[in-house]
Structure 1
Amino acid sequence: MSWTGRTVEAEVGAVAHGGHCVARVEGRVVFVRHALPGEVVLAEITEDKGGSFCRADAVRVLEAAPERVEPPCPLAVPGGCGGCDWQHAKAAFQRELKARVVIEQLSRLAGIEWPVVVEELPGGPLGWRSRVRLVAGPDGRAGLRAHRSHRVVPLEQCPIAVPGALDSVLARRWRPGTELEVTSDGDGRAHVRELSVARGKRRARQLTGGVAVQHAAGRDWKLDAHGFWQVHPAAADTFARVVREWAQASRDALAWDLYAGVGLFASVLAGQVGPDGEVVAVESGRRAVADGEAALADLPQVHWRGGRVEHVLRDLPGRPEVVVLDPPRAGAGRAVVESIVERGPARVVYVACDPAALARDLATFAGSGYRLARLRAFDAFPMTHHVECVALVLSETDGGSGHDADHEPFRGV
């Protein structure tokens, strides 16, 4: 019999990946949101598909953890907006919970025991989110969906969004079902795009802006406002500094930037290899490639390849000294990792937005003679369960150094 709708008393255990904690009730695992480890709560079962686990919201706290606080947003409660996971925890404890998740994923999925500290980015836990995707509910008001639901929770404001970025969108009514993408760029300008479906076709209409200006790695970037860029204003520059420190590409070397976006890390690698070296940037988004080519036109050593990484790698010549990759949330995957290690780079710098995907890929690297040498984790998504990691992976064969000066150059499309 389904437990959905039932309220149970639960002693909350460890944090789990995904923004919830684990409890056990009558022999079943219950993933409880809006709770903290060590608490005793009344949890309402919100989803039960009949398996060994179900999902629940903590609707009443009987014994609170000392790290519990009042959420700054009134919608960050059971039945409210699904955009945030940890507003009920102190900011420092949020980072501790994320560190525990990264540690557990590395241990369970990769067999790696590694200490992790999640570092705070500048600016605090509120007012950081520069990209928000909203949807208009039945009454035409823009909002965010509830957790694991299509129900729209209308917004008056969003405390984690860049101040003022959503004002124009929240001030009016929209056709129900309309999706709205809002981006606040590095100059503080808001870019709004409307997405709708008409006669079975998905249509996009730019309402304001369209070309964003961002600042990172000592450069100004102009790119599609709704293309890929880091959400936290301080993230891109922070990650570029870590990549610069760990990549250590030699002068005149060959380096690869996979899932390159508009070339943030390619620009860093280009500075290291110099004008006689080569950086191959691989990116599947056509607009991103065009924006990257324009942004890095002063760096002729950067050569672009458009296409899916797993396909492009088959035809790339040469042995790169360094590979930097920043894959989507699902990770690079076994096929891409194996293609990388077949070329034998001395160093791999992996930027990951999902610790489980990172751990799976690190396990593949480890099975091919590579080891995790360094790892840093950043709270690039405060109040949510998401965490960004940067890992340095070294080849055991040459100790993480070495440079193939005789690589066959790739000279672009």
Structure 2
Amino acid sequence: MTARPSGRDLVGERYDVEVDRVAHGGHCVARLPEEVPEVGGTVVFVRHTAPGERVTVEVTEGRVGDRFLRADAVEVHRPSPDRVVPPCSYAGPGRCGGCDFQHLTVAAQRRLKGEVVAEQLRRLAGIHRDVVVEGVPGDDDGLRYRTRMRFHPAGEGRLGLRAHRSHRVVPVDDCLLQAPGAHVAVEGEPRSGNVLTEVVLGRRYDVAEDGFWQVHQGAPETLVTAVLEGAGVREGDRVVDLYCGVGLFTAPLAEAAGERGHVLAVEGDRAAVDHARANLASYPWVEVVRGPVARVLQRAPHDAVDTAVDVVVLDPPREGAKRAVVAQLAARRPRTVVHVACDPAAFGRDTALLAEAGYELAGLRAFDLFPMTQHVEVVGTFTRR
């Protein structure tokens, strides 16, 4: 059986298009005009544009016959009223790929992110709800917020960041997202082994310099506040904190449950668990267990008394919790589940799984923890029907 021959490479071809809605992934959707030979009507995912604009796009990925193409908007003929000059000279087609929305006002960025979250909930979970994306208090311009940066060597002693969907490194002398005093790592250099101390709402946390920690300087406090409000932990509650990291949520959850309560914290990363145990040493009613979350839940006792919990908090990686974890946490019949998600599509899929398990989305907050980029953080509160 012979492989179907690929169509003509379209990279570098230019077309005029009308831009439709925003889509998950930092781009908007357009279609090539029907009269264009060979590719008329083909869907194009366009970066550096906004809904309602008329632009000339240059194809960056795709061939004749592909289901969709990728492209950059390289000329703007009818600009959106939300369009601005990007504050960073490295932002734009063919340049640094770290930012998706520098060409739009911060307010417009948040509105588009809300539309993306709402669309994913409709498509994946059948939930129709308007979503308002909140800014971090004090962050009005979306710049100088990142407390951690990872650069790549760019030659001649310079550092840089990669172009979009590419290994090509763009030299960057000053990233406008980098906060003063940010911790900088360079790809390929040995790990430092340094331990940083972070303070959130008066609590101290040790975390490896290259370990996971929210990059926006205001994110930890924002998320802790939202999670506590959603969880509604009562004194004496049994709480499970899944994907707990170094214990950012575990400590305030333990304080809310009190000494008559019990908190089980689960994390797979060895270094994070070591730090979590040290960070939580003053809460003897907290048990920190290392291992993959699904496996830890599966090997837990199945006696209803031993497994029943009141509140579950989970902050899974980008791909979400998935069916095995959702099924096992739902089997404990918590009255409340708080889901922290950094990917709207994964959140939509997990929301659908929780609905199958008898939980409804009772509350939803979304936060702009990554201004100038496509990324958005969601905190969903689910209650048992």
TM above 0.5, yes or no, is yes
**Which residue of 62, 66, 69 maps to 1:54?**
69
Instruction: Decide whether aligned partners of structure 1 residues 147 and 311 sit closer, same or farther in structure 2, where only a CA change above 3 A counts.
Output: same
Provide the secondary structure at the position in 2 that maps to 1:377.
strand
Question: Aligned pair count?
Answer: 363
**Which residue of 155, 158, 178 maps to 1:161?**
178
| Residue 127 (structure 1) aligns with | 144
Instruction: Decide whether aligned partners of structure 1 residues 140 and 45 sit closer, same or farther in structure 2, where only a CA change above 3 A counts.
Output: same
**Which residue of 374, 377, 381 maps to 1:388?**
377
**Which residue of 358, 372, 394 maps to 2:347?**
358
**What is the correspondence of 1:306-321 to structure 2 with a 5 Å cutoff?**
306-317=290-301, 318-321=307-310
1:71 aligns with 2:86: yes
| Residue 348 (structure 1) aligns with | 337
**Which residue of 258, 261, 278 maps to 1:294?**
278
Cα separation, 1, equivalents of 2:234 and 2:139: 35
Instruction: Decide whether aligned partners of structure 1 residues 2 and 128 sit closer, same or farther in structure 2, where only a CA change above 3 A counts.
Output: same
**What is the correspondence of 1:216-295 to structure 2 with a 5 Å cutoff?**
216-295=200-279
Shift of residue 2, structure 1, vs aligned partner = 2.5
Letter in 1 for 2:312: V
| Residue 40 (structure 1) aligns with | 54
8 A Cα contact 1:217 1:241, kept in partner: no
Instruction: Decide whether aligned partners of structure 1 residues 193 and 20 sit closer, same or farther in structure 2, where only a CA change above 3 A counts.
Output: closer
Shift of residue 138, structure 1, vs aligned partner = 4.1
8 A Cα contact 1:284 1:309, kept in partner: yes
Superposed CA offset, 1:152-187 (max 9, x none): 000110011113x4xxxxxxxxxxxxxxxxxx3xxx
Cα separation, 2, equivalents of 1:194 and 1:357: 29
1:367 aligns with 2:353: no
| Residue 204 (structure 1) aligns with | 190
Shift of residue 194, structure 1, vs aligned partner = 4.8
Gaps of 5+ in 2: 1-7, 33-39, 302-306
| Residue 408 (structure 1) aligns with | none
Gaps of 5+ in 1: 166-183, 185-189, 197-202, 397-413
Superposed CA offset, 1:306-352 (max 9, x none): 01101111122411110000001111111111111111111000000
Letter in 2 for 1:312: V
Superposed CA offset, 1:62-94 (max 9, x none): 111110000000111100000000000001000
Shift of residue 115, structure 1, vs aligned partner = 1.5
| Residue 126 (structure 2) aligns with | 111
**Identity of matched residues, %:** 50
**Which residue of 97, 105, 112 maps to 2:112?**
97
Aligned structure 1 segments of 4 or more residues deviating by more than 3 angstroms: 192-195
Provide the secondary structure at the position in 1 that maps to 2:77.
strand
Letter in 2 for 1:263: G
Provide the secondary structure at the position in 2 that maps to 1:131.
strand
Superposed CA offset, 1:88-145 (max 9, x none): 0001000000000001000001100112100011223000011211111244421000
8 A Cα contact 2:240 2:313, kept in partner: yes
Letter in 1 for 2:143: L
| Residue 330 (structure 1) aligns with | 319
Cα separation, 1, equivalents of 2:162 and 2:227: 35
Cα separation, 2, equivalents of 1:287 and 1:17: 33
Letter in 1 for 2:43: V
Instruction: Decide whether aligned partners of structure 1 residues 62 and 194 sit closer, same or farther in structure 2, where only a CA change above 3 A counts.
Output: closer
Q: TM-score, normalised by structure 1?
A: 0.86
